[in-house]
Structure 1
């Protein structure tokens, strides 16, 4: 029995000393120590949670560098999420002290160095979200799985959302975009410090979904990230999405000011800065009822603005800043379903018919600036292939397609066109990464390949060679469980993209009260 115990002790000891770990890591703010975990087959991973990348932010101010700390920071617990409405929309959760990030570093038989780096930006409509990967108590985004599978350093960051992240008066008193500045501060921190964590600061990929995908797009377009980002991946959201920019933020600020008993004159900004943060957060919750005549997509008010600083111009005029960044962008074929289900609930029911009139009403809302000519052209575009008496399946599917095209697909296509047009002066061997995709699980392999080198040649097997998206070829890869060469297609939904990007904009605008 004693001999057996001795063998077990030796075995445990050998397992312990064979672990690879960064140990204590030196950063610009001080020393940090994370947790080392065994992930199987002689592989280990260092996990650092709650590492500050900026100081506690001032109310409606840009983030500032963290002053640092003494001793060793035990980075084993996630920081709090940024203050936001809770899932029941009847209170708040989180804290203003929230600018922390998390890092996963995989190791083989030796401690890793110069690994590609992937920085995740979460979605949530710029109103909710966190860096831990949880949504409604479900762990949707695991930094550990991506780091392990792709042999990359994964970083997840937090940024301010809702009123505290995106309230703007439309002038210098409250410029807005504080959440975007938080993201930028985290990206810059990663660039300055990630080498100490085994990452390559010259090989940083930022990626995100929905509002996170739009954020990724904004981060490539701002002049403040020059030289910091090598690659970017936008999933279901780009800066050109109609919901991604508020061009009339003053009215929103005044409404919130009235809700918290602040004046709407020149004293508004100073009053808002002194108001209780939870009260401010709740004041940013607006009516969420919708209909075909009043679509949900137009109720996203606390979003980025063109502030003359982070975004010095319209996003469509800033693609020259992204010319040196390899770019992927993707949509799902039912991306608009969540929004259109709010507007037209019947499309989600087999028992309730969807009137053709709801299709017309939704298109009238989406094309309201162009009046009757816009809605009539839109209706013809989407119904010209219908049978004489369209089935309910056809009508419901058309509503979902309209939402997907208008809210996600067409803006994504437009972003790719503009990126490809600014790509002419690039001279890198990674030029096969400007593409449009339909997301599914295999996209993980393609994404991770592209982070290392090329989506077709990064080491993880993929079934089809992924073509480059160009302004002329317009090729894309449709991802699904049974892919072959026929999955390579071109000119995605060209007829509908042409309507939204060429026909509709050239119709005369109609202005009314």
Structure 2
């Protein structure tokens, strides 16, 4: 009997100490209550879904503070994504009432305090996306549980307006644009003001994101409106210098949208657009997603941020002084451009047909057209220099993917790293190349046997999918995921990806303008994965040779 009593007492003790929870949290808008989940002995997590960070936004207006609520808001379900086109580009999903965020807070034997905070900004070409990400059988891509638990950090994901409602601009004060960026900024500021109540450290906020989210992260550290709010930042496959990240002639597309919704294109245009049905506006903001070597899709991504004199007072390349004290990681995937190349030059994915050299020239001609024939000749000689006299089919196909990877993602990222390192005072700079081969390579079209890491392939590893859905992955994938979670969360804690609670496979050196060191991340990451001067010949061409050629 005595033994039974002891066991019962131990059980009660364990029940008590392992149930750490924040309970009801008081925020500036009112009280919220999430859901507590058990992660094992002495470990729990509070999850808050659908916490409002701003009011329902006005059409083409900056976000405003939420008016607040009475009683306790149950924050247990994801809210609707922002109104956007669906995958067919002919219909819509989502709602204008979409400025909500989600929070994952891990606890040990007692309630957490002063944890580093990681704020995620999703990608989707500024046209689509959601704070919870794609969903398969209730398995959300941007579920923060694994990252928060393994890294012992708070993870926040936020919603922001996309498409016409987020980025349509007339290029003047009538419709200045950048509403989606203001939404992100409002969410970051809300986190800064409120996260202490959730156990977070408001002085240690890391923003991270991928693709348009990676570019957004870069915009958020470049704008003067975030001074003192962001300590660190990670841009995955996207920076503010990408050719699709800023639209320098927004009025042209605004007029096209106006004509599609029967609005005039004169001084009455903005007022008419503001009164137009939001679904009609969203549908009118569709873009062409069919490409060709002469008309690559990257040139169609025109619903994007603008230099408005407010959020972005100048060209992004002139704003890096604002990020001088921010620690910054940026990188790309080794075949980031593949997703675009497959649409622009479909033969690259077909192993039984040749990709004509003429298609390579047509694509390069479209990407260098501002420099005319001279631009094309210089680009072609740069990319064909290691072909020999008779390049294999595979070599040509891989070159086409490399061209779009370089142009759309890798070269702008290297430029952003260079500018950050040049302007940094206390901010540290780190560069990476993610190269874990696509899991479908050689198994299913459109992924050829030679596939590296395609665009967005890194997301599953950062969010710990090989751990949460282990049957879908091999042990090497869990290695990749553990490396990325370690580097990312160590960095969030200390500003140094090597220093924190988690062990890393190799020390990742800083990127400095003297040596341009970078880390290659894949399942085999080891001491040989540290290199310098990533794709030097191609960086030199796009950053130094190409701009100096006379314009046509």
TM-score normalised to the size of structure 1? 0.95
Partner of 2:218: 217
1:264-295 CA distance string (max 9 Å, x none): 01110011001000010000112222100000
Question: Structure 2: how far apart are the matches of 1:40 and 1:241?
Answer: 43
Partner of 1:387: 388
Work out whether residues 122 and 129 of structure 1, in 8 Å CA contact, stay in contact via their aligned partners in 2: yes
Question: Structure 1: how far apart are the matches of 2:284 and 2:497?
Answer: 44
Partner of 1:460: 502
Question: Structure 1: how far apart are the matches of 2:398 and 2:255?
Answer: 39
Question: Structure 1: how far apart are the matches of 2:167 and 2:128?
Answer: 12
1:481 aligns with 2:477: no
Partner of 2:90: 90
Question: Structure 1: how far apart are the matches of 2:125 and 2:519?
Answer: 27
Q: Quick one: which of 477, 493, 496 aligns to 2:538?
A: 496
Partner of 2:41: 41
Partner of 1:472: 514
Work out whether residues 132 and 156 of structure 1, in 8 Å CA contact, stay in contact via their aligned partners in 2: yes
Partner of 2:469: none
1:129 aligns with 2:125: no
1:437 aligns with 2:438: no
1:286 aligns with 2:287: yes
Question: Structure 2: how far apart are the matches of 1:12 and 1:244?
Answer: 56
Question: Structure 1: how far apart are the matches of 2:140 and 2:383?
Answer: 38
Q: How many Å apart are 1:13 and its aligned residue? A: 9.4
Question: Structure 1: how far apart are the matches of 2:390 and 2:10?
Answer: 78
Partner of 2:110: 110
Question: Structure 1: how far apart are the matches of 2:362 and 2:226?
Answer: 42
Question: Structure 1: how far apart are the matches of 2:545 and 2:310?
Answer: 33
Question: Structure 2: how far apart are the matches of 1:89 and 1:508?
Answer: 39
1:432-464 CA distance string (max 9 Å, x none): x53333255322211111111221121211111
SS at match of 1:378: helix
Partner of 2:230: 229
SS at match of 1:131: coil
SS at match of 2:509: coil
Partner of 2:471: none
Q: How many Å apart are 1:476 and its aligned residue? A: 0.4
SS at match of 1:434: strand
Q: How many Å apart are 1:144 and its aligned residue? A: 0.8
Q: How many Å apart are 1:15 and its aligned residue? A: 2.4
Question: Structure 1: how far apart are the matches of 2:212 and 2:124?
Answer: 6
Partner of 2:374: 373
Partner of 2:413: 412
SS at match of 1:478: strand
Question: Structure 2: how far apart are the matches of 1:465 and 1:266?
Answer: 58
Superposition pairs of residues 1-16 of structure 1, within 5 angstroms: 11=11, 15=15
Work out whether residues 87 and 136 of structure 1, in 8 Å CA contact, stay in contact via their aligned partners in 2: no
1:302 aligns with 2:303: yes
Question: Structure 2: how far apart are the matches of 1:342 and 1:135?
Answer: 25
TM-score normalised to the size of structure 2? 0.88
Partner of 1:354: 355
Q: How many Å apart are 1:263 and its aligned residue? A: 0.5
Question: Structure 1: how far apart are the matches of 2:249 and 2:416?
Answer: 23
Partner of 2:23: 23
Q: How many Å apart are 1:194 and its aligned residue? A: 0.2
1:50 aligns with 2:50: yes
Question: Structure 2: how far apart are the matches of 1:403 and 1:106?
Answer: 40
Distance change in 2, residues 1:8/1:283 (3 Å): farther
Partner of 1:451: 492
SS at match of 1:307: coil
Question: Structure 2: how far apart are the matches of 1:12 and 1:89?
Answer: 56
Distance change in 2, residues 1:36/1:135 (3 Å): closer
Work out whether residues 413 and 436 of structure 1, in 8 Å CA contact, stay in contact via their aligned partners in 2: no
SS at match of 1:505: helix
Work out whether residues 129 and 135 of structure 1, in 8 Å CA contact, stay in contact via their aligned partners in 2: no
- Paired positions, count: 503
Work out whether residues 330 and 413 of structure 2, in 8 Å CA contact, stay in contact via their aligned partners in 1: yes
Partner of 1:325: 326
Work out whether residues 17 and 109 of structure 2, in 8 Å CA contact, stay in contact via their aligned partners in 1: no
1:308-366 CA distance string (max 9 Å, x none): 10000000000000111000001110000001111000001101210000110000001
Work out whether residues 18 and 41 of structure 2, in 8 Å CA contact, stay in contact via their aligned partners in 1: no
1:40-63 CA distance string (max 9 Å, x none): 122000111110000000000000
Question: Structure 1: how far apart are the matches of 2:108 and 2:13?
Answer: 19
1:390-417 CA distance string (max 9 Å, x none): 1100100000000101010000000000
1:202 aligns with 2:203: yes
Work out whether residues 22 and 111 of structure 2, in 8 Å CA contact, stay in contact via their aligned partners in 1: yes
Question: Structure 2: how far apart are the matches of 1:496 and 1:459?
Answer: 37
Work out whether residues 475 and 489 of structure 1, in 8 Å CA contact, stay in contact via their aligned partners in 2: yes
Q: How many Å apart are 1:12 and its aligned residue? A: 7.7
Q: Which runs of 5+ in 2 are unaligned?
A: 435-457, 459-479
SS at match of 1:291: coil
SS at match of 1:503: helix
Q: After TM superposition, where is structure 1 displaced by more than 3 Å over at least 4 residues in a row? A: 7-14, 135-138
Partner of 1:154: 155
Question: Structure 2: how far apart are the matches of 1:9 and 1:323?
Answer: 55
Q: Which runs of 5+ in 1 are unaligned?
A: none
1:84-140 CA distance string (max 9 Å, x none): 111232311110000000000000000000000000000001111001132577632
